[in-house]
Amino acid sequence: MNAGSLVAPDTSSRFAPDSPKMKQPLRVMKFGGTSVGDASCIARVAQILRDAAREGPIVAVVSAMSGVTNRLIEAATRSEAGDRDHAEAVFAALRKQHEAALATLVHDEGKKRQLAVHLEKLFSEGEELCKGTALLRELTPRTLDAISSLGERLSAPLVAGALCAQGVRSEAVESTELIVTDSYHGGADPIMDRTRERSEARLRPLLDQGILPVVTGFIGSTQDGILTTLGRGGSDYSATILGAAMSAGEVIIWTDVDGVLTADPRLVPDARTIPVISYREATELAYFGAKVLHPKTLRAVSQAGIPVWIRNTFAPERTGTKITPKGLSNGGGVKALTAISDVALITVGGPGIVGVPDVVGRTFSTTAQVHASVLMISQSSSQNDICFIVAASDAKRTVAALRKEFAQDVAHEKVEHITVDSTIAIVAVVGENMRGTPGVAGRTFNSLGRENVNIIAIAQGSSESNISFVVFQKDMKAALAATHREFGLSGPVVHDAVTKGS
């Protein structure tokens, strides 16, 4: 399907395939929710793309407008509870928001009408899906994907429309046509060879004609054409998947901060931008909660070694952070900190546990069965307790599955308790060359001691590029501030450009 296909007349400053100006290899540029948050943001994005397109071919990938995915998910879950009014109110607000952006961005009456009809079809589709959900009082992962993906399907035609209005030939493309995934709804993974074939077949002819494709982030489809999503924040992953599929020279992730910073600037106000960072360091940060990058982002480009940039849509003159396979040693060990608080500590334990065969194996095959990703593990030497940490969203079903698995053992008092604690946070200290720097662990824990931060558990990966520890949520900010100071990571204040959340 052509998502609001709009191609402007061929009078623009667009790149042409054989233009002498074409210096750069293909670049994939992804814009997050805040970057496409309203009409003026989208106009800014169109300008960045127009300038970039003068230098070489570009594939754009866009997120939903800021806040939209959250509202769609809320509409879906409230519908499941039988509340039809809420979904109606959400769709009324979304219509208003997208129609206002359309009115500001596209002036040609014919094109505006064409786009309005396309957007209306998407709103109706969403409303129908919510009505069905309310009727059945059931929200399957497949339906949730269909509803939550509407934000990207709405924003991509708007961005393409804005580009056309600025004289850049552009076409919105739904990534269900490009990214082939497995059928794991809500967190699908790409099947790369099929994705490569489809992306080449669909995007290359557009690029060859000098048309800039604007692709929906976040979304893929199974081999049978069923829509899937790549997980929350997954548009970053969409960009690198397409970068790898199209053998791009680089992937640029445009967001609302200057790059990868030494810590989340919302938690550590004097965090500063890191100019170069390795795939591994960036992945560790993302895995432990640095929202600036989806944890799977670098997976797609690791084989080809394609560099990934993080840059600020609201300060495009700044260079940002370059993420490369090897990074750049900073000589001092620790490069950045991160923290994740929407996690839960699950404990399987009790004095009798020593007698239960294969508790560890059964525990983790259960977490695997329910697709819970385990962030940290700690086990006491006497085997009285196995503690591990999962995302808060995985906690309920993990505990339920464990209680089922160990029901017999609990009945016979071999397993005494399976408990969950949601008041904790993980803080991670990250730096690739920590390996050769003795004393990092000591300095970390001394600095926490000075601030009276109580440490609940500690883990250090064998890669020695990360030391992570568990603290109570109430101590998280103090733990970050203490370690940030201890490792001299502070610098000039980095201002968050706008308020956010997509």
Interface with ligand ASP includes 289 (CB under 6 A)? no
DSSP string, 210-261: T-EEEEESSEEEETT--EEE--TTTHHHHHHHHHHHTT-SEEEEEESSSSSB
Residue whose CB is nearest to ligand ASP in the complex, by number:
235
d(CA 308, CA 325) in angstroms, rounded, equals 10
Among residues 46 and 150, whose Cβ is nearest to ligand ASP?
A: 150
Written as six digits, the tokens of 224 are 């049978």
Question: Least distance in Å: CB of 187 to Mg ion?
Answer: 15
Contact partner at residue 266 from ligand ADP, ligand ASP, Mg ion, none, CB < 5 to 8 Å by partner kind: ligand ADP
Please choose, out of 229-237, 283-291, 326-334, 415-423, the segment that lies near ligand ASP by the rule CB under 6 A.
229-237
57 binds ligand ASP (CB under 6 A): no
Contact stretch for Mg ion (CB under 5 A) within 27-35, 54-62, 192-200, 465-473: 27-35
| C-alpha distance from residue 191 to each of 15, 112, 181, 195, 217 (Å) | 31, 36, 5, 6, 16
Q: Which does 218 bind (CB under 5 to 8 A by kind): ligand ADP, ligand ASP, Mg ion, none?
A: ligand ASP
Closer of 45 and 348 to ligand ADP (Cβ): 45
Among 114-122, 226-234, 317-325, 453-461, which window interacts with ligand ASP (CB under 6 A)?
A: 226-234
Question: For 294, phi and psi rounded to 5 degrees?
Answer: -65, 135
Binder to ligand ASP among 95, 131, 232, 397 (CB under 6 A)?
A: 232
Among 12, 35, 63, 273, binds ligand ASP (CB under 6 A): 63
Nearest alpha-carbon partner for 65 in 271, 194, 209, 235 = 235
Give the residue among 443, 438, 450, 432 at the shortest CA–CA distance from 486: 443
The two three-digit tokens of residue 340, written as one number: 């994740």
From residue 139, give the alpha-carbon distance in Å to each of 75, 94, 131, 151, 183. Answer: 11, 21, 11, 18, 16
Question: Which of 14, 28, 32, 152 touches ligand ADP by CB under 6 A?
Answer: 32
Residue 172: other Cβ atoms inside 10 A = 28
Residues 140-199 binding ligand ASP (CB under 6 A) are 151
34 binding ligand ASP? (CB under 6 A): no
Instruction: Write the DSSP symbol of residue 322.
Output: E
CA distance readout (Å), 172 to 249, 351, 433, 452: 22, 60, 43, 54
Contact of residue 69 among Mg ion, ligand ADP, ligand ASP, none (CB under 5-8 Å per partner type): ligand ASP
Tell me how far, at minimum, the Cβ of 203 lies from ligand ASP, in Å: 20
Position among 217, 289, 327, 350 found at the interface with ligand ASP (CB under 6 A): 217
The yes or no reply on residue 398 touching ligand ADP (CB under 6 A) is no
What's the maximum distance between 2 C-alpha atoms anywhere in the chain? 79
Q: Nearest approach, Cβ of 398 to ligand ADP (angstroms)? A: 25
Applying CB under 6 A, which part among 30-38, 133-141, 325-333, 439-447 lies near ligand ADP?
30-38
Name which of 424, 433, 437 is nearest 469 in CA terms.
424
Pairing of strands 417-421, 385-391: unpaired
Q: How many residues bind ligand ADP (CB under 6 A)?
A: 24
Indicate the helix (H) or strand (E) that contains 170.
strand 170-173
Scanning 99-107, 227-235, 349-357, 479-487 for contacts with ligand ASP by CB under 6 A, the matching segment is 227-235
Residue 243 sits in the site that holds Mg ion (CB under 5 A): no
List for the chain the helix, strand, coil content (%; round to 5).
40, 20, 40
Find which of ligand ADP, Mg ion, ligand ASP, none residue 415 binds, CB within 5 to 8 Å per kind: none
Partner that binds at residue 260, options Mg ion, ligand ADP, ligand ASP, none, CB closer than 5 to 8 Å by kind? ligand ADP
Number of helical (H) and strand (E) elements in the chain, helices listed first: 14, 19
Q: Is 233 in the site for ligand ADP (CB under 6 A)?
A: yes
Residue 103, Cα to own-chain centre: how many angstroms?
30
Per CB under 6 A, 500 contacts ligand ADP: yes
CA distances from 369 to 231, 327, 386, 419 (A): 18, 36, 18, 19
Query: What residues pair up with 418 in beta bridges, in sequence order?
Result: 348
The site for ligand ASP (CB under 6 A) is made up of 32-33, 63-64, 69, 151, 217-218, 232-235, 502
The site for ligand ADP (CB under 6 A) is made up of 32-35, 63, 233, 255-257, 260-261, 263-266, 285, 290-292, 336, 338, 496, 500, 502
